[in-house]
Structure 1
Amino acid sequence: MAVQTADELTKKKCKPCEGGVEPFDLGEARAQLEKLPGWRLTHDNHRIRKDWVAKDFMAALRFFEECAIVAEKDGHHPDLHIEGYRNVSVELWTHAIGGLSENDFILAAKIDRLPIDLK
């Protein structure tokens, strides 16, 4: 798959995935992450994650609400983590294939466009 800019990714919609699709290999994932600043590989390169520090607990929850709206529209749902009342993280992978698909990068690009009241 060709590397896409964040703008190109945000114009796409996640496609339903029930398996049968090869996950991105490490080279493809790394190349695509170069277009998504702040996102990094985790879990033996099978997931991507980004961290933020929100202004306060309520700002963190508002950000998660925005994430949930975008995720629900695309039918692709991230893991949302909050620690220490304002440290937020979003983790993405395609469960059906146990690795990364284009959907993960599409949603990451869309999440990057969401407002978050930072520290």
Structure 2
Amino acid sequence: MTTQSAEQLRAKRCLPCEGGVPKLTNDEAQAQLTRLSGWSLTADSKRIRKDWTVKNFMAGMRFFNKVAEIAEAEGHHPDLHIAGYRNVTIEIWTHAIDGLSENDFILAAKIDELPVELKS
């Protein structure tokens, strides 16, 4: 995968993946992460992750509802976590290949455009 800007990623749509797509290498994933704000590779290098501290529990739920709308429209669904009522985490990976694909970065770039009520 050629490294792309966040704008280039947002202009794309996630493609259905039933497997057979090569996983991104660790180097490819790391290079793409430099073009996204706040996302990091998980320890096993199979997922990307981002954390937010939101204003309160309901702010987290509103954010998750917006993420869910994008995920459903793209046909690519992340793991959503809320802990301690305001600590929000999203993890994205391509389940069918048990690793990262371009779809994961497309979804991350689109999530980054969503408004989120952060803790002051």
- The normalised TM-score by structure 2 is 0.98
**Alpha-carbon distance between aligned partners in 1 of 2:114 and 2:73, rounded to the nearest angstrom:** 14
Report the Cα offset of residue 37 of structure 1.
1.4
How many Å separate the matches in 1 of 2:43 and 2:81? 15
Give distance in 2, aligned partners of 1:9 and 1:75: 16
Q: Which residue of 1 aligns with 2:84?
A: 84
1:72 matches 2:90:
no
- Distance in structure 2 (CA, Å) of the matches to 1:49 and 1:7: 19
Aligned to 1:108: 108
Report the residue type matching 2:15 in the other structure. K
Query: What is the percentage of aligned positions where both structures have the same residue?
Result: 64
Consecutive aligned runs of 4 or more in structure 1 exceeding 3 Å deviation: none
Residue equivalent to 2:12: 12
Q: Deviations over 1:83-108 (max 9, x none)?
A: 00010000000000000000000000
Partner SS state of residue 81, structure 2: strand
Please name the residue that 2:35 is paired with.
35
Per-residue CA distance 1:50-106 (angstroms, 9 max, x = gap): 000000010000000000000000000000000000100000000000000000000
State the secondary structure of the residue aligned to 1:14: coil
Take 1:38 and 1:53, find their aligned partners in 2: how far apart are those partners?
12
Q: Gaps spanning 5+ residues in structure 1: where?
A: none
Q: Which 5+ residue runs of structure 2 have no aligned equivalent? A: none
SS of 1:89's partner is: strand
Q: How many residues align?
A: 119
**1:70 alignment partner AA:** I
* Secondary structure class of the residue paired with 2:88: strand
1:35 CA displacement: 0.3
Partner of 1:50: 50
